Amino acid sequence: MPRRIRKVGAPLGVIIGLGVLVGCILLLTTLANPVGMVIGFVLASVATAVVLLVYLWFDRWEPEPPRLLIFAFIWGASISVAISVALETMSAPLFGEDGFTSMAIVAPIVEEAAKGMFLLLMMTGRRRNELNSLTDCLVYAGFVAAGFAWLENIFYIAMGDTISHSLITAGLRLIMGPFAHPLFTSMTGIGVYLALQHRGSGAKVMYIGLGYIAAVVMHMLWNGSTVVGAGAYFLVYLFWMVPIFVLAIVTGISGRGREQRVVAEKLPGLITSGLITPNEATWLGSMRTRKAAIAAANQIGGAAAGKSVKAFAVQVVELAFVRDRIDRGLADERTYQLHAEEAYWLTATRAQAPVLQWLATYRAA
């Protein structure tokens, strides 16, 4: 059985190593301020869980490999934080007591670069096969930024001199802007997505650069407003952050809608190739009908049957995206190899889902 290119994760040793690094950082913070650390850890974790659940909801149509999502989050909470702290500390002597420069200029430039490095890593090797859509790019950007924000929020909350100070800091950071870092890094994610739609190196560099600049500018405005004062902070929040956040939500929803349209457009070709049946095409083209078919499989053969049908549906989505890449002229030799392997794995997934035969009479309403 050939190695499955699509199943890309992250080395377990790397994940464990980075996790240990995060644990050591949290331990040092605990020794400095145990009470503030506990408050920060609990509240920041709750807020971050909400953010991650939103991204997982966006990712339902074509779920990403769990290990890669874990890797993205831990990268944000370890590598990105370490790089940012090191570079900001090194640059501090250049600006002296100028807090505005360090907060509103240096921090955004450094932090968005540190988070964006993960997205550049995702564009290399087998990981590139996971960036099939705008939704994928936004999900990875959101996870790495959520990891960064989680640890940063813990630090700021733990730095409070008193419990009340820590709670006030938590309120400002976790109620006003839990999606701030993911929103900034989403701009880089959009740039990466646009870069992947072009074959030329110049176009790729341009779109990634524009995405990074947009992320830095948004971050600068946000950080700058916190330094200027409460009035500027609320103005930026209400008239800049909220509209951009709404636009990002609309973009994410429309991106997932495009994923659905791509799959629907490729279903006739999959029928012609004999990879799916006309009956299956009636329920593979939308999330609603797919969920209904999985529910029917659960009723027929139990949870295992429903899981196998879901795996089959996800594999159809994967193959549809590879075909779309070929049809749009963005394929290389590796893409054609991936197409052959995805078609093989679709057949293998079908063989592991005998309940599909029982669903032969099921037709989406």
Strands (E), the chain: none
Q: Residue 35's pLDDT band (boundaries 50, 70, 90)? A: confident
pLDDT at position 14: 79
pLDDT at position 19: 82
Secondary structure of residue 209 in the 3-state scheme: helix
Q: What is the DSSP string of 261-322?
A: HHHHHHHHHHHHTTSS-HHHHHHHSSHHHHHHHHHHHHHHH-HHHHHHHHHHHHHHHHHHHH
The pLDDT tens digits for 75-85 are 999 999 999 98
The answer to whether residues 172 and 152 touch, using CB atoms and an 8 Å cutoff, is no
Comparing 209 with 176, which gets the higher pLDDT? Answer: 209
pLDDT at position 235: 81
The answer to whether residues 112 and 215 touch, using CB atoms and an 8 Å cutoff, is yes
Maximum mean pLDDT: which of 13-17, 127-131, 252-256:
127-131
Question: d(Cα 78, Cα 76) in Å, to the nearest integer?
Answer: 6
Question: d(Cα 113, Cα 15) in Å, to the nearest integer?
Answer: 21
pLDDT at position 365: 53
Q: Residue 49's pLDDT band (boundaries 50, 70, 90)? A: very high
pLDDT at position 89: 86
Phi/psi at 131 (nearest 5 deg)?
A: -90, 70
| Average pLDDT in the chain | 86
Comparing 96 with 321, which gets the higher pLDDT? Answer: 321
Q: Tell the burial category of 309 from Cβ atoms under 10 Å away from its Cβ (0-12, 13-18, 19+).
A: buried
CA distances from 308 to 33, 286, 301, 349, 350 (A): 49, 18, 10, 8, 8
- Residue 165, number of CB atoms within 10 A of its CB: 13
Question: d(Cα 221, Cα 213) in Å, to the nearest integer?
Answer: 12
Q: Which of 108-117, 124-133, 214-223 has the lowest mean pLDDT?
A: 124-133
pLDDT at position 3: 46
Among candidate residues 354, 339, 200, 207, the one with its CA nearest the CA of residue 273? 339
Is pLDDT at 333 greater than 70 in this prediction? yes
In this prediction, residues 313-323 reach a mean pLDDT of 92
The answer to whether residues 269 and 323 touch, using CB atoms and an 8 Å cutoff, is yes
pLDDT at position 208: 97
Two structure tokens written together for 317: 């989505």
The answer to whether residues 14 and 79 touch, using CB atoms and an 8 Å cutoff, is no
The pLDDT tens digits for 3-34 are 454 456 667 777 888 888 888 878 877 777 78
This prediction's pTM:
0.87
> Looking at this protein, which amino acid is placed at residue 251?
T
pLDDT at position 9: 61
Cα 224 to its chain centre, rounded Å, is 26
CA distances from 175 to 61, 169, 203, 237, 308 (A): 29, 10, 38, 12, 40
CA angle 245, 103, 105 (to 5 degrees): 80
The answer to whether residues 323 and 266 touch, using CB atoms and an 8 Å cutoff, is yes
The answer to whether residues 60 and 5 touch, using CB atoms and an 8 Å cutoff, is no
Comparing 231 with 48, which gets the higher pLDDT? Answer: 48
Q: Residue 130's pLDDT band (boundaries 50, 70, 90)? A: confident
